[in-house]
A = this chain, B = another copy of it.
Amino acid sequence: MQSEQQHLRIPGPTPVPPRVMRAATRPVVNHRGAGFRELYKQVTAQLKGVFQTQGEVMLITGSGTAAMEAAVVNLVSPGEKVLVLVGGKFGERWGQIARAYGAEVIEWHYDWRQGAEPEELARRLAADPDIVAVFATHNESSTGVMNDIEGLSRARELSGQRHRALLIVDSVSALGGAPLPMDAWGVDAVVTGSQKCLMVPPGLSFVALGQAALDRLERVTTGRYYLDLRAYRKAAAAGESPYTPAVTLVFALEEALAMLAEEGLENSFARHRLMRDMVRAGIRALGLPLWTGERWASPTVTAVEGAPGLEVEPFRKLVRERFGVELAGGQGEMKGRVFRIGHMGYAGPFDMIAALAAIEQGLAASGFPVKLGAGIAAAQEVWAQWK
């Protein structure tokens, strides 16, 4: 189908609202001029609201992985012991980065269909006082599983005395779409990217640091330069970035943050939950298995398993080519086993109806037994009962 209308139903990059895209076409300016400095300070202050922190937010020109690396190289010294929670591809990435920079990495592999149990974290921490940091994934976009970050943070207090480990969280595919009140939950560092719930094209990423993390910055000995957050902190005090930032994407960010403020963070969270519930009801009505249960279901992306009589990759291709709806495949060892439906950022209930329509018709065209409209009707029921 030839259409410029986007049905990009992958867990990022996500569709960019027209007004955000228009903002990105403003003429490039001197990134060290007074006008841009004002803008830089403003978006940094607004981002603190999204991270819900009184700490500091640093803006990096780079992919989400750059922000993850910034968290590692600024908060862990070579030889220090860290615990990495691995429940999918992005949990693995924390481990890869920490190892690349010489940390002693302990990986805790939990069931990829579930989140990490806080009680188990408490046990592991109690047994190992040397751990200086716990790396977790808020929303594992490879599986559609959302961790209980509040519980994991509190697990550091279960052993009577608070464990010294920092909690460092990848919320690349959730921040802005799901609650992560950093200070209230006692999370020490959170990273995210521009191209997911924040509705900005890819190219910017963010690191938010609480006081304990800011204190560690100065003591960590890992070699670093482009991602040395000390330089970002110093430059930010003057409203600048240490190196030329992606100026047009900062313009886009300003507009996207205005949209998020107009909607309200809580309303954005509710919209994402509604999309999740509509998609899950629809998929269930179509008889396809959901990868994870209710407890851990992500509000931003849903993984669906293949079924007898349905080959996932040819089905995805058909849905993309015939209906213009782009679903994501499985990553790594999950390739061919699941497809994923992104429902984050600039999307709403009608987009879920459209996605379910394409899925239903794609299933029918693939020879999978399906009653057209059944998934949509189930999703509508959810929407109708939404308060």
Contacts and interface: CB of A to CB of B under 8 A. Distances in A.
Given A21-B25, A69-B226, A226-B62, A202 B8 contact: no
Contacts of A33: 320, 326
Contact of A100 (B223, B248, B249): B223
Contacts of A28: 6, 8, 13-16, 195, 201-202
B25 A8 contact: no
A203 B249 contact: yes
Contacts of A193: 244
Interface string A4-47: 10101010111110000110110111110100000000000000
Given A223-B102, A225-B97, A249-B246, A202 B31 contact: yes
The count of identical subunits is: 2
A31 B193 CA distance: 15
A27 B13 contact: no
Interface in A216-265: 223-228, 242-249
Given A31-B13, A224-B100, A226-B227, A248 B65 contact: no
A328 B30 CA distance: 9
Interface of A: 4, 6, 8, 10, 12-16, 21-22, 24-25, 27-31, 33, 61-66, 69, 78, 96-97, 100-102, 193, 195, 201-203, 223-228, 242-249, 320, 326, 328
Contacts of A63: 61, 226, 243-245
Secondary structure of the A contact surface, majority rule: loop
Interface centre among A193, A226, A244, A320 (most CB of B within 10 A): A226
A24 B202 CA distance: 12
A243 B27 contact: no
A146 to B, nearest CB: 20
B16 A27 contact: yes
A292 to B, nearest CB: 23
13 contacts: A13-B28, A13-B244, A24-B24, A24-B25, A28-B195, A28-B201, A61-B203, A63-B243, A66-B66, A78-B223, A101-B223, A195-B247, A201-B249
A258 B306 CA distance: 43
Nearest to A317: B34
